[in-house]
Structure 1
Amino acid sequence: MTLLSDDDTGPVCAPAAPADEPERTILLPRISTDPVDELVERVRPRLGRAVDALQVAAALEADGHTDRTAQVEYGYRDVFTLATEVFQRMGPPLPEPDEAAVAVVTGGRWAGLRPVLHGPLYLLPSAAFPAVLMAVGRPGLVLGMVLAGTVGWIWSGVAAYLAYRLLGHGRPRAASRVLRWAALTGLLLGVVLGVAVLPLGGLPLAVMMVLQVSYQLASTLLIFYRREAWLAAAMIPAVLFGTAYLLVGGAAQRWAVLAAAGSVLAALAIALWAARPTGDAEEPTPPTGLRAQTPALLGIAGYGLCAAALLFHAQAPYLLTRLDIVAAAVPLLLSMGYVEWRTGRFWPDMVALSRRARRPGEFVAGVWRTIGREFTACLAVPALLGAALLAGLAQVGLLSAAGAVMTAAHVALAGAYYLAFLLAGRGRYGWLCLSMAVVIALHIGVGALLGVAPLLGQGGSALADTSLYLGSVVLLQALFALGLLPVIGQIRHYR
């Protein structure tokens, strides 16, 4: 008997056939040496018949395949090209996905508008600032506000991250304990900071710092539990009496300060009540302990520190002297809720896109089109608010070129924060912190060389300083976009 392989590579030795049996020719199945065929067989048990090449790409990326391995090991340009070839060799796809299921995943186009309201909530305490300024006085005020704002920013960010992680693991009672503990310890941190600045500003400054940290933590808790209306209601007295002080001054100052303090304490009390543990059901054991979250928590704390430094280092030198430059932050703060909302829509939009797209290149192009569209929208909203602000400043004779440039810088910051939220969603805290540290150093360093770094005690031109800040924010946008390149188009994040 003669055995031949079906690729005609030559005879294969086999035992001789018995003499009484006629000789037969048997074709052996071809043994493929194509590594892509081997890859197909490895992923087939897990994928079955994939819906499209994007599903294959997600599996390959999850297995650790990169563009480099696609080039070196398989000879394809990138993972998406390799996935397309694997998909074609796996056979016909399943029928089209159910459109109703897609609608369930993505939700309505205007779902979740609640975050848009967060911007005005961030600004509510500013109504009482003029009265508080007169009560506290100037010595140490800037340092106290920056310290309290930075600590509150970091502490509330870390607490919110932990609470959302616990809630995602089905542990609402544990999330409640974390938030209440964070609020109480944050209050204690505010007291410690206040004691530290007593030699600079006395008791009024210390009390202001405690209240500032308290408001940031109260707003974090109430936003977590979707009780924004309660927060707004608690702050109504502070807004009313603060506005009255602006209109009549004099005797209204004391009442405005008391109303501000009472409103913040009321908001904190309501937040602690909203975060009270409910239910007695036993909660599941978390898959990982708190120690496993340490890298992420350090990343979030670092991000909060750098974000606060990015905003405060440019504003602090003008806080008590240039109303037009300080007011430039108002459009950014008002629009931050809109930026949060659009960021929250990104993931479901990409899930829907991954179901519509049939080619990897189509998906990647769609991702970047979406980012470009949303980035533009996140610039347009604060730009409109900024135009209204500049018109108002011009009406009262306070508009300056430096104020206009600083307003443009804060409009650009809204776009940068949109990209930052996307990076944070991919856990790229190291890149976030490095990028912000670089642009802060450039703004201060170049300003020092030109003699226009007010943070270092240099005078010079405010217009030159704010122009440098605008340039640094534009550079930050480019760095954030560069940080998104390796991760944002990976289909596995959306499948």
Structure 2
Amino acid sequence: MSPERDPDATDPLHKAVGTITATVDEPERTILLPRISTDPVDELVERVRPQLGRAVDALQVAAALEAAGHTDRGAQVEYGYSDVFVLAAEVYKRLGPLSPVDEATGAATAGAGRRDGLRPVWHGPLYLLPSATFPAVLAVVGRPGLVLGLVVAGTVGWVFSGVTAYAAFRLLGSGRPRSAARLLQTAALVGTLLGVPLGLTVLPHGGLPLAVMMVCQLAYQMASTLLVFYRREWWLAATQLPAFLLGTMYLLVGGTTARRWAVAAAALGVLAAFVAALHATRAAARVEEPPARDPLLPDSTTLVGVAGYGLCSAVLLFHAQMPYLLDRLDIAAAAAPLLVSMGFVEWRTSRFRGNAVALTRRARRPEEFAAVLWRAIGRDVAACLAVAAVPGAVLLAVLAHAGMLSPAGTVMTLAHVALAGAYYLAFLLAGRGRYGWLCLSMVVVVALHVGVGGLLGVAPLLGQDGSALADTSLHLGGVLLLQVLFALGLLPVIGQVRHYR
């Protein structure tokens, strides 16, 4: 609670009346002049408004104040508040409501109510929508070179969109929505055009249809990045729903006509999503912002770390599934539980910092804080595993009913369920800038999977035609090892109170 204050100190009308009285009735009492000075909190609000006028909550304000050197002692002595968090809450309140342009950008608003806070949960099913058209696209593109095209375009899109989103969020957090919007516009066009040279490299392997598919894949990844950034998930869903329905119809009935409709809907859906994504940036791209005093983009070391994290994540997922994408449906489909649950993983990660900040006010000793925090992480990991296990069980039941389930498919599904817990820990590591540890851990796991598999003669990436069950079992063991490595990476940093105060 903030201390009681003299209303004259903040009420403009009282300031004006006090000034007139001092000037007309008692001109000699210059001692009254301090009454017309600005409230120090108002001065602070105006200083931080260019950077925090679009803050999503008081925690963001608190982080910015601490980064600027404000301490609990300073909050008490200079502003009369008990600590930085109470001061930040007052600053956030005085910043006022968001402008119409801020509302249009979407990414800058925290949203009102619990429903908006649960928005990331729906990202998982959203990520899965385009997969319904894969069989129809496969029938048109053909098998030669398809896996190569999917993996190359998917990896490039993953890395490029991840770096773009990170840089744009940093710009937005610095109070530069116009710079963020223009960066996203440029990156969307460049990222899509990257598909042209990539497509040319695979022409000898799959021809023009494969090259076009790669361009569309990159366009969709960039469009989805922009629409999620601006909280336009419903736009993305609306553009992909027709393709999902027609792709499902092709799976059920087959036929040339259904295939053509599904492929046409997929192509039009990508185009619609891309146009919608560029439209979502228009309002923010016209916002006025002050000249930049500091470099607009994060330092190159951080961007390299983000790119490396994206690349290693793509390698981790693709290296295990790539040999089975065309021939083993039960193994290829094992990624579905992870995709469906990733939205929940994002949501739990986003809630972690707020819970940790609240915990700093209750914990009395550092060791108590760390112990409670680790218990919270354990509960979140268990929740992520449980949420991923539900669609995993459904998938296994459907495949078993269709007579398509094998022991290798079961093990691969378990590996992807375990990856949900690993990615929760990975998000926490990324939030603390430990990209080096993230990349090293994933490289070690991939190397062990391929290396041990090669020694046993079961590594399909090395051209060995061994047991799929042994190969997928090695991958499951690697994912479990990855959880341990990620937890070890968190050990020296997660309990440091300075990250939350």
| Counterpart code for 1:227 | R
Q: Does 1:304 align with 2:310?
A: yes
Q: Does 1:267 align with 2:293?
A: no
Query: What's the CA shift for 1:154?
Result: 0.4
Distance 1:384 1:253, change over 3 A: same
Query: What's the CA shift for 1:455?
Result: 1.1
In structure 1, the partner of 2:139 is: 134
| Counterpart code for 1:326 | A
In structure 2, the partner of 1:399 is: 405
Larger relative contact order (CA 8 Å, sep ≥ 6): 1
Q: Does 1:461 align with 2:467?
A: yes
Deviation string, structure 1 residues 388-417 (Cα, Å, up to 9, x no partner):
111111111111110110011001111000
> For residues 135 and 94 of structure 1, what CA distance do their matches in structure 2 show?
66
> For residues 442 and 228 of structure 2, what CA distance do their matches in structure 1 show?
26
Q: Is the 8 A contact 1:177 1:277 kept in 2?
A: no
Query: What's the CA shift for 1:288?
Result: 3.2
In structure 2, the partner of 1:151 is: 156
In structure 2, the partner of 1:232 is: 237
> For residues 308 and 483 of structure 2, what CA distance do their matches in structure 1 show?
19
Q: 1:409 aligns with which of 394, 415, 429?
A: 415
In structure 2, the partner of 1:174 is: 179
TM-score, normalization by structure 2? 0.77
For the aligned residue pairs, the C-alpha RMSD in angstroms reads 2.5
| Structure with more helix by fraction | 2
Query: What's the CA shift for 1:284?
Result: 3.2
Q: Is the 8 A contact 1:124 1:235 kept in 2?
A: yes
In structure 1, the partner of 2:211 is: 206
Query: What's the CA shift for 1:451?
Result: 0.1
Q: Does 1:316 align with 2:322?
A: yes
Number of residues of Structure 1 aligned to a counterpart in Structure 2? 405
In structure 1, the partner of 2:264 is: 258
Query: What's the CA shift for 1:378?
Result: 0.8
> For residues 353 and 379 of structure 2, what CA distance do their matches in structure 1 show?
15
Distance 1:353 1:111, change over 3 A: farther
In structure 2, the partner of 1:471 is: 477
Deviation string, structure 1 residues 1-21 (Cα, Å, up to 9, x no partner):
xxxxxxxxxxxxxxxxxxxxx
| 1:27-66 pair list within 5 angstroms | none
Q: Is the 8 A contact 1:169 1:286 kept in 2?
A: no
Deviation string, structure 1 residues 50-107 (Cα, Å, up to 9, x no partner):
xxxxxxxx9xx99xxxxxxxxxxxxxxxxxxxxxxxxxxxxxx969x97x969x9999
Q: Is the 8 A contact 1:453 1:459 kept in 2?
A: yes
In structure 1, the partner of 2:453 is: 447
284-293 or 174-183, which deviates more: 284-293
> For residues 279 and 182 of structure 1, what CA distance do their matches in structure 2 show?
14
In structure 2, the partner of 1:438 is: 444
Q: Is the 8 A contact 1:170 1:284 kept in 2?
A: no
For structure 1, the 5+ residue unaligned runs are: 1-57, 63-92
Distance 1:280 1:397, change over 3 A: closer
In structure 1, the partner of 2:225 is: 220
Q: 1:359 aligns with which of 349, 365, 368?
A: 365
Q: Is the 8 A contact 1:123 1:334 kept in 2?
A: yes
In structure 1, the partner of 2:389 is: 383
For structure 2, the 5+ residue unaligned runs are: 1-62, 68-80, 94-109
Q: Is the 8 A contact 1:198 1:205 kept in 2?
A: yes
In structure 1, the partner of 2:254 is: 249
Query: What's the CA shift for 1:312?
Result: 0.2
> For residues 219 and 391 of structure 1, what CA distance do their matches in structure 2 show?
31
In structure 2, the partner of 1:328 is: 334
Deviation string, structure 1 residues 17-50 (Cα, Å, up to 9, x no partner):
xxxxxxxxxxxxxxxxxxxxxxxxxxxxxxxxxx
TM-score, normalization by structure 1? 0.78
Distance 1:182 1:493, change over 3 A: same
Query: What's the CA shift for 1:285?
Result: 4.0
| 1:275-314 pair list within 5 angstroms | 275-278=281-284, 281-286=287-292, 288-290=294-296, 293-314=299-320
**Identity of counterpart residues, as a percentage?**
71
> For residues 402 and 204 of structure 2, what CA distance do their matches in structure 1 show?
38
Greater Cα radius of gyration, structure 1 or 2: 1
Q: Is the 8 A contact 2:168 2:181 kept in 1?
A: yes
Query: What's the CA shift for 1:108?
Result: 7.2
> For residues 163 and 393 of structure 2, what CA distance do their matches in structure 1 show?
34
Query: What's the CA shift for 1:277?
Result: 4.4
